[in-house]
Structure 1
């Protein structure tokens, strides 16, 4: 089974240029070691959506379609789930406290994500050899071919 690292078209170009997926922070301090997040959700991970700051309202995550439009498309990198950590093992590898882990889980649930599907790595991973998909204009995931346009502009 593949787990997916979902990302925006803008970040896809940066990842393609570097050839690496690199763990990143999540905006909460202190969180321990940065994590390269994946999801076993085979369609979309809601927490991968961009944040939207609407005047007078709380921050929300854009939907998959909204993120696609706002971020120049969507892409995902597939990795064998056996190469990743999940649950308590991931929490320990990332040196996250139980409180931070519980807060991430709760926020994920509020965003209508499925935290039990989360997994990840604390190490950078080369994208060479990963399955790479881009989201088509008809909102279907398709294998990325180097000769096709990367994402919508």
Structure 2
């Protein structure tokens, strides 16, 4: 089961597992102990922190976009606009953002892991029974 993380999410807002089509907005920020943004993590840093880089493929009929996603997550409009502005600064496209607001069974998803080839990384199927 893929369970949305709720760090930094204040009720009544719900966490959103995102499925970006474009990779610029899939990166994660590094912050200080007060939650202030420092910089975006590199792929190597993100891989080290997470024990590898994984991507999840979800059934498209479960994914939401735009205002439907924001409203399902009960996210305030001001925060949504700030996220969109941040994505634009990273050369991201809001039309590439997809997500859902709930848990999702891994049997409904494809799971892939990036190999360790630094020169030309590629994605491989991940054994979900491990």
Task: Please classify the TM superposition score into its range, dividing by the shorter chain length.
Answer: 0.7 to 0.9
Map 1:135-150 → 2, pairs under 5 A = 135-138=114-117, 139-145=121-127
Gaps (5+ residues) in structure 2?
none
Deviation at 1:103, TM superposition (A): 0.9
Deviation at 1:78, TM superposition (A): 0.6
CA distance in 1, matches of 2:104, 2:73: 16
Q: Give 1:62's match in structure 2, choosing from 41, 44, 48.
A: 41
Q: In the alignment, is residue 24 of structure 1 matched against residue 11 of structure 2?
A: no
Deviation at 1:70, TM superposition (A): 4.2
Which residue matches 2:100? 121
Q: In the alignment, is residue 105 of structure 1 matched against residue 47 of structure 2?
A: no
Q: In the alignment, is residue 89 of structure 1 matched against residue 68 of structure 2?
A: yes
SS at match of 1:99: helix
Q: 1:135 to 1:61 in 2, by over 3 A?
A: same
CA distance in 2, matches of 1:142, 1:45: 21
**Length-normalised TM-score, structure 2:** 0.76
Moved over 6 A (4+): none
Gaps (5+ residues) in structure 1?
1-19
SS at match of 1:106: helix
CA distance in 2, matches of 1:40, 1:97: 23
**Length-normalised TM-score, structure 1:** 0.66
Higher strand share: 1
The answer on whether the counterparts of 2:111 and 2:128 sit within 8 Å (CA) in structure 1 is no
